[in-house]
Structure 1
Amino acid sequence: MTRSTISKCKYGYVFLCTFLFASIFLMYLQKEQYPFQILQMLKPILNNVENSTRLNTTISKTPLTHLMTTTSKTPSSSLKAILSKTPSTRLTNTSLEKWRGRLKYLCVSLIGRLGNQMFIFASGLGIANINNMSMVVQEGIEHLQSVFDIHNTEKNKKLCKNAKAKYHRKASAFDPRLFNISNIDTVHVGHYLQSYKYFEHIYDEIRSQFTFKKEIKDKADKILKNIVEKHRKVNNASLNWTLVGIHVRRGDMVNHNYGYTVATKEYFVKAKQWFQSHYTNVIFVVASNGLQWCKDNISDNSTYFINGNSAGEDMAILSSCEHLISSVGSYSWWSGFLCRGNVTYYFPPARENSGLRKAYSADYMDYFQPKWIRL
């Protein structure tokens, strides 16, 4: 046997061992083989590789007859014994599918209106990221997809049908238990999840997911441009201005008995004064579900009101401003998050001793971002 032939055998053994290691690793993942069984399977192959290496280093000193005897101990018999096992223990398409099936999933259902759905989606992504899981939307993704360029998101109602429930303790407070659920194959984490702490470690990903669709962003930019042009003509304003959005949540919250508070006239006046004292040529842009109240209480020559838009379009307008005066509710929260500038918020968002108050942490700071300004 020539040196080149022996060298080829040696590399052949290495290739076979690599292939075998990959096969056995998949067997172990499928729990079809245990560690001690794997070692027994590897032993004859490793012995043959060792013999091959020793043979190559001693070829010049070994008689041809001895070489023939040594090289006749090929791994073919051991390898055939292993590869002839049942199909379930071999590297087949079936075993690969089973291996993929061992991936773990976190399921969310997007309920409520825009702000609520954004919290569930963002928190679901953050919790899945921490637990090394893939987030799957069980239902309700259509609304978000109509407003934002949502990407890399799977909808699979069937997959989530038998998911184990692991719900948070409070709707608007962080529950650290949800960062330790990686031992569950498929889990549903419930609704609301209204705490930035669930997703603060992936803020860039959240902002990317909540990129407004082009037609919505274009409309928002056009509306703001028209407001600025009108303000400049009427007030002979300079080319330098500061856009501050104002979101006023009233409507359904005014007479709600669950414990919601409604931002007062005094709050909005104080917030407007704060921005006017910190910036020059401030233009306020108001979006509200109680527009008449706004016109009656916070109107002046630097304030403009928008109406006739969808919830997504109004949020795009507010978040395109440099800063925001928020009120209460998840819609206001997300408008502030997406605008990136200074954000003021009304405090407290819930009446003491109410059902809603119990949904927050003791100091409310699992909900409000630390950098926001409390007024």
Structure 2
Amino acid sequence: MNSADYRARAPTTGRMRILYAGRQARRNPAYAVGVFILLVFALMENQLHSEYYSDVDTSEVRALGVRDFRDQHLKLKVIHEDGDVKIASLGKSRPSRSIDKPLRNGGHKKLSDRLHNTIRKHRYRKNSWQEKPILTIRFDGRLGNQMFEYAAVYAIARKKKMKIFLTRNHQLNKIFHIDESVIVRKPCGGFSNVNTPCCGYDAEVLDRIHNNTCQRVFGYFQSWRYFDSVIANIRRQFTFRRNIVQTADAKLWSVVNKHKKYPFKTATRGRCVHAHAQSKRNACTFIAIHVRRGDLMLPIRVKQGRRAAPKQFYLRAMDYFRRLYHDALFIIGSDSQQWAEENLAGPDAIVLKDMLPEVDMCILSRCNHTVMSVGTFGWWVGFLGRGKTVYYNRPFTNNSETAAMYSRYEKDFIRPGWIGMS
């Protein structure tokens, strides 16, 4: 029988084809090589075909065609404002059912509901919030200003029975023991803005804040009158964290021990600082002095009418406390350390150097009494210190821009009982 007869009688079923190819390969080696090459090409083609389907990105699908029970063609378009939404039901690389076949048992309705639920979930995920209503603050300024802003908004939230949104990594959380009972960590989807004038007390701000919505409050709130009803609560919240207190006490001990000009004996000096660290205030008397000059000396600040306290003010305040306390030791914190060193340092006056703002404030606020120049940082030193506070009573020139903003400076900013000097 010749080869033509073999080809004529070649089987058509899959198993018989394999047996037939095997017999042909044993009789003709060239045939075997050809079969092997064809098999390799077939495997390559199948691999490419599989990769094509596996690389299909279902998130690019924009429409899905189905037929309803009336055999009418429907087209559900999936479009989102942020781009195409990935349809959960199209997770496979190949559809398990032909889209041209009608869906049974209400399948079209289930598929439609699933698509609409997916769209709704993605559309409103960014606009969800944890609790309502919520107040948040646009923090402006440095540490002293931010303390005023938080204290005022805290008091307002308590009166309005609202929550305050404050991020966990905000510096106030890292420095103080902020009241967690009024804080939420997840913001609203949107806030309406409430502006307050600078820089005194605005009694109408409560009327502009509504306790049925989420609002963002703008303003410096530089007045103790905003939080007068929760003074004790604010003092408790603005207690420094333990690591800051330990750093402050260690620094105070170090600078006093190194200050050779201190008139007391070494043993007395040690007892003084140790007693201060233990909150025993009968060993010696620490007087905190905050000197702010840096930004107040800029031409733009001078043009606004702002004034930095002169040297004579500090010397008068120091003499006032020397007459009251024979064992007074002055601890000076300043943004102009060189000026303070040249003009105020002495046998009983030490200038703190290279301190973080929170450590500086902690040291000064733990002193017995305060000399405050100008600004919110010194204000909080005097407030947290609870002793006598002497302040500079001419912080701006008359008929200036700053004088207009602080028109009620003595009433709204300065605490009752503080002593003014020029």
Common topology (TM > 0.5) = yes
Change (3 A) 1:149 1:363: closer
Q: What amino acid sits opposite 1:315 in the alignment?
A: M
> Distance in 1 between the 2:171 and 2:337 partners?
24
Q: What amino acid sits opposite 1:177 in the alignment?
A: E
> Distance in 2 between the 1:236 and 1:112 partners?
40
Q: What amino acid sits opposite 1:243 in the alignment?
A: F
- TM superposition shift of 1:230: 5.1
Change (3 A) 1:227 1:176: same
- TM superposition shift of 1:186: 2.3
- Alignment pair present for 1:342 and 2:393: no
* TM-score, scaled to structure 1: 0.67
**What is residue 175 of structure 1 aligned with on the other side?**
202
The number of equivalent residue pairs is 273
> Distance in 1 between the 2:131 and 2:255 partners?
54
> Distance in 2 between the 1:351 and 1:117 partners?
26
**1:22-171 equivalent positions in 2, closer than 5 A:** 103-137=132-166, 142-152=170-180, 154=183, 156=185, 158-159=187-188, 162-169=190-197, 171=198
Counterpart contact for 2:261–2:346, Cα < 8 Å: no
**What is residue 250 of structure 1 aligned with on the other side?**
293
> Distance in 1 between the 2:349 and 2:409 partners?
33
Counterpart contact for 1:242–1:281, Cα < 8 Å: yes
- Alignment pair present for 1:211 and 2:239: yes
Counterpart contact for 1:262–1:328, Cα < 8 Å: yes
Cα deviations by residue, 1:337-373 (Å, 9 ceiling, x for unpaired): 1111111111122222222222223353201111211
Change (3 A) 1:132 1:291: same
Which ranges in structure 1 are unaligned for 5 or more consecutive residues?
1-99
- TM superposition shift of 1:136: 2.1
Change (3 A) 1:329 1:321: same
The CA RMSD measured in Å over matched residues stands at 2.5
**What is residue 226 of structure 2 aligned with on the other side?**
198
Q: What amino acid sits opposite 2:192 in the alignment?
A: K
- TM superposition shift of 1:163: 2.5
> Distance in 2 between the 1:337 and 1:312 partners?
15
More divergent stretch after superposition (113-122 vs 230-239) = 230-239
> Distance in 2 between the 1:140 and 1:267 partners?
41
Percentage identity across paired residues of the two chains = 32
Cα deviations by residue, 1:156-199 (Å, 9 ceiling, x for unpaired): 5741x533322223x22111112333455222221211110011
Q: What amino acid sits opposite 1:213 in the alignment?
A: R
> Distance in 1 between the 2:259 and 2:315 partners?
20
Change (3 A) 1:208 1:284: same
Counterpart contact for 1:263–1:327, Cα < 8 Å: yes
Which ranges in structure 2 are unaligned for 5 or more consecutive residues?
1-128, 273-282
- Between structure 1 and structure 2, the one with the greater Rg is 2
Q: What amino acid sits opposite 1:113 in the alignment?
A: R
What secondary structure, in the 3-state scheme, does the structure 1 residue paired with 2:410 have? Answer: coil
Cα deviations by residue, 1:104-159 (Å, 9 ceiling, x for unpaired): 3222122221111111111110111122222223x696122232232415355741
> Distance in 2 between the 1:362 and 1:309 partners?
33
> Distance in 2 between the 1:337 and 1:275 partners?
18
> Higher RCO, 1 or 2 (CA under 8 Å, sep at least 6)?
1
> Distance in 2 between the 1:119 and 1:204 partners?
15
1:364 maps to which of 381, 386, 410: 410
What secondary structure, in the 3-state scheme, does the structure 1 residue paired with 2:161 have? Answer: coil
> Distance in 2 between the 1:198 and 1:342 partners?
22
Cα deviations by residue, 1:228-285 (Å, 9 ceiling, x for unpaired): 4456985235563100011100111112233321011010001101111112200001
Change (3 A) 1:245 1:131: same
Q: What amino acid sits opposite 2:203 in the alignment?
A: P
What secondary structure, in the 3-state scheme, does the structure 2 residue paired with 1:243 have? Answer: strand
- TM superposition shift of 1:300: 1.8
Cα deviations by residue, 1:174-227 (Å, 9 ceiling, x for unpaired): 111123334552222212111100111111221222121211111111222334
**What is residue 297 of structure 1 aligned with on the other side?**
343
